[in-house]
Structures are given as structure tokens and as C-alpha cells.
Amino acid sequence: MLALVIALVLCVALGTAVVVVVAMPARREGRQLLGPAGEQVVERVRDVAHATRGRTADPATRED
């Protein structure tokens, strides 16, 4: 079990290192991280999340 936890922490650390080395400098230079297709996916996810939140919200706080 300890080996599994160590492997998980190692994978998270490696993923974080990749983001820091690749994505952060690109973002500082003004390049976008997502292309047009990725931006569309993010927009759809936001729309679905907003619609779901509206359906599952407390009736007293609903934004209809």
C-alpha cells in the first residue's frame, strides 16, 4: 500500500513539473494553452455545469 501511495505522489509531482516547465512559460509569453477546439470544449462544460447547477439548486435560491 505504501508503494502505491509513493507512486501516486510521484505521478502528481511529475505532472506538476511538466505543467511548470511547459505551460507556465508559454502562458507568460502570451500564447494560449488551448486551441479553438479546446476552448469550445471548455465553453460546453461551463454551459452544462451552469445548467446542472440551476436544476439542482435549492428552490429558494434558484436563478430562474
Q: What is the CA radius of gyration of the chain?
A: 19
The per-residue pLDDT for range 38-56, each reduced to its tens digit, is: 889 989 999 999 888 877 7
Phi/psi class of residue 17: alpha, beta or left (left: φ > 0; alpha: ψ in -120 to 50)?
alpha
Q: Is the pLDDT of residue 27 over 60?
A: yes
The per-residue pLDDT for range 3-23, each reduced to its tens digit, is 999 999 999 999 999 988 888
The most confident of the ranges 21-25, 34-38, 48-52, 56-60 is: 48-52
Collapsed DSSP state (helix, strand, coil) of residue 1: coil
Sequence-distant (6+) residues with CB within 8 A of 32 are: 39
